[in-house]
């Protein structure tokens, strides 16, 4: 579970940290289903520390190791054991959506 007090980063901050453009980050988000930063009511992306670490790994694979984005995606999504990473990330996405709904409900009732 992501702590509410966990630091959040805007796309410009993440862009500067990783040395990639905001448009590259948006493209990666549209291409790699494992990456789904939360968006504010105003539509701005909020990246968690976990998101930044994941993006750092993508950056390392693409920029430093010379892999294609598709190759990096395949490596990151390759499964081990009985459950594949794709299934695990589908579950994670569902959990994130549920947490978002819960946080919105908490906000609405003033909790």
Domain around 97: 11-109
Cβ–Cβ < 8 Å for 59, 97: no
- Count of residues in the chain: 111
Please write the tens of the pLDDT for every residue from 43-88.
Answer: 999 998 888 888 888 888 888 889 899 988 887 777 543 334 544 6
Give pLDDT, residue 85.
53
2: in domain: no
- The CATH code of the domain that includes 91 is 1.10.1660.10
Domain count, the chain: 1
Give pLDDT, residue 94.
66
3: in domain: no
Rounded to two decimals, the pTM is 0.65
Confidence of residue 95 (pLDDT cuts 50, 70, 90): confident
pLDDT, averaged across the chain: 80
Long-range contacts of the stretch 82-90 (C-beta < 8 A, 24+): 85/34, 89/33, 89/34
């Amino acid at each position: 579970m992501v702590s509410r007090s966990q630091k959040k980063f805007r796309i410009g901050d993440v862009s500067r940290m990783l040395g990639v453009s905001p448009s590259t980050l948006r493209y990666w988000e549209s291409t790699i289903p494992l990456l789904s930063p939360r968006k504010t009511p105003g539509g701005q992306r909020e990246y968690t520390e976990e998101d930044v670490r994941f993006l750092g790994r993508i950056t390392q694979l693409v920029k430093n190791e010379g892999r294609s984005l598709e190759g990096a995606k395949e490596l990151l999504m390759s499964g081990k054991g009985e459950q594949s990473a794709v299934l695990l990330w589908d579950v994670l996405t569902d959990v994130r959506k549920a947490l978002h709904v819960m946080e919105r409900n908490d906000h609405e009732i003033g909790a």
